[in-house]
């Protein structure tokens, strides 16, 4: 299995300069950055969360495309976006940017795309109606621009940049799809699949089988099977649960689990069981005092439906199930320190290289 690393793509850049050489030494196969305007922490609560020691503002995300150009001077590994959306960025802009970065980045560029999340759209005046329809229209245009160099049926709207970079081909398009229509679009237009919400190994395998069937019907190669997983290293599961109880604001991650997952566990999502979790929760739109009161009531079980928790051995055992279901390229976002802060980060310093060694054997 290949292992990609989500970089600390936030101000200040010193965090990236410090961590990337360490990831290089570990043998990371790829590097990634999110395309977020807002983060997952309420700014009024940020100072109460241990990770705030590393950054003054939880929303200080760099533009991941600009950031990627800078990263290209520091590594020869592939770099990807996980993920952008087609509401804020139209196909022509995405194609030109992808071709530019694929030429500039020694390891090549992976354009991760999805239909978008409310937090990066609604607060900034972008629409969030029929996002999958907008996404499909963008994919049709993008695929034509990247494959043929021009808009569908319109050769005036063309790309002048080379469509392939020497030695690494075209920029890859990876799609964050979960629902039936998005899975079909992944097979029809994507080079990779990078779901970002929690799926059991069984669910992962079932969705990958659907993509495979669609790809075969379209006469296209089966997209590379990836997964964007957020992980938190700990000494043991019991210790992790105790830490979240001691620092309950970390349990607000449970809000990003879909309402149907809460319902499956006989629970009521605080925003209702019709909540789509990551897709529609805008943490900044909620009252900070209410969140502070709510956090202790969120079950640790729901945190584990958003974040993979355990030591390197336990996490390796968890991801083994996904490898058996077809996972080829795991992209990890390390959230260690959300509880425990720098003490926990330092104590778990060897867990990531140990996990990478385990994963590469799967």
Residues 155-174 have pLDDT tens digits of 999 999 999 999 899 999 99
Beta bridge partners of 6: 32
- Position 54 scores a pLDDT of 86
Give the tokens for residue 325: 């279901």
The string of pLDDT tens digits covering residues 300-335 is 999 999 999 999 999 999 999 999 999 999 999 999
- Cα pseudo-dihedral 223, 86, 185, 34, rounded to 10: 30
pLDDT tens-digit series, residues 169-221: 999 999 999 999 999 999 999 999 999 988 999 999 999 999 999 999 999 99
Question: What single-letter DSSP state applies at residue 234?
Answer: -
* Structural domain range at position 338: 2-360
Identify the pLDDT of residue 35.
97
Q: What is the domain-level CATH number for residue 29?
A: 3.20.20.30
pLDDT (average), residues 140-166:
97
Lookup result for tokens 């957020």: 230
Contact predicate 275/269, CB 8 Å: yes
**Residue 247 pLDDT > 90, yes or no?**
yes
Strand partners, 224: 192
Angle formed at CA 33 by CA 230 and CA 221, multiple of 5 degrees: 85
**Is 90 exceeded by the pLDDT of residue 253?**
yes
Q: What is the mean pLDDT of residues 135-157?
A: 97
Tokens 């968890």, located at residue: 318
| pLDDT for res 175 | 98
Assess whether pLDDT exceeds 90 at residue 53: no
The whole-number pLDDT of residue 297 equals 94
Q: For residue 84, what is the enclosing H or E element?
A: strand 79-85
CA dihedral for 287, 289, 292, 294, sign (positive or negative): negative
Q: Does residue 23 register a pLDDT over 90?
A: yes
Domain count for the chain: 1
Return the H-helix or E-strand segment holding 26: helix 14-26
Instruction: Read off the tokens for 249.
Output: 């604001």
pLDDT at 265 (0 to 100): 87
Average confidence (pLDDT) over 6-21: 96
- Alpha carbons within 13 angstroms on the beta-carbon side of residue 196 total 23
What's the confidence (pLDDT) of residue 333?
97
Average pLDDT, the chain: 96
What is the rounded distance in angstroms from the CA atom of residue 32 to the CA atom of residue 331? 8
pLDDT at 172: 98
């Amino acid at each position: 299995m290949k292992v990609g690393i989500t970089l600390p793509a936030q101000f200040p850049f010193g965090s990236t300069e410090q961590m990337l050489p360490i990831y290089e030494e570990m043998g990371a196969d790829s590097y990634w950055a999110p395309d977020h305007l807002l983060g997952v922490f309420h700014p009024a609560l940020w100072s109460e969360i241990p990770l705030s020691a590393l950054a003054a503002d939880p929303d200080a995300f760099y533009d991941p495309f600009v950031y990627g150009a800078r990263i290209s001077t520091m590594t020869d590994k592939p770099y990807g976006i996980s993920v952008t959306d087609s509401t804020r960025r139209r196909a022509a802009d995405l194609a030109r940017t992808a071709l530019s970065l694929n030429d500039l980045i020694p390891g090549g560029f992976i354009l991760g795309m999805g239909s978008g999340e409310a937090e990066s759209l609604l607060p900034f005046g972008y629409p969030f109606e029929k996002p999958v329809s907008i996404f499909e229209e963008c994919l049709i245009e993008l695929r034509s621009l990247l494959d043929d160099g021009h808009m569908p049926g319109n050769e005036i709207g063309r790309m002048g940049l080379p469509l392939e970079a020497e030695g690494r081909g075209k920029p890859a398009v990876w799609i964050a799809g979960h629902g039936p229509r998005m899975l079909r679009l992944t097979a029809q237009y994507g080079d990779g699949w990078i779901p970002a919400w929690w799926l059991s190994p069984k669910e992962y395998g079932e969705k990958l089988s659907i993509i495979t069937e669609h790809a075969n019907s379209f006469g296209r190669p089966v997209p590379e099977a990836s997964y964007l997983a957020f992980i938190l290293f700990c000494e043991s599961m019991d210790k992790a649960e105790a830490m979240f109880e001691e620092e309950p604001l970390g349990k607000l991650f449970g809000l990003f689990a879909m309402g149907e997952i809460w319902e499956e566990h006989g629970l009521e999502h605080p925003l209702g069981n019709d909540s789509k979790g990551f897709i529609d929760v805008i943490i900044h739109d909620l009252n900070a005092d209410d969140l502070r009161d709510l956090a202790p009531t969120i079950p640790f079980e729901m945190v584990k439906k958003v974040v993979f928790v355990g030591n390197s051995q336990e996490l390796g055992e968890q991801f083994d199930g996904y490898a058996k279901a077809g996972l080829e390229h795991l992209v990890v976002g390390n959230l260690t320190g959300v509880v425990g802060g720098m003490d926990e980060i330092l104590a778990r310093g060897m867990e990531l290289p140990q996990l990478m060694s385990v994963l590469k054997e799967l």
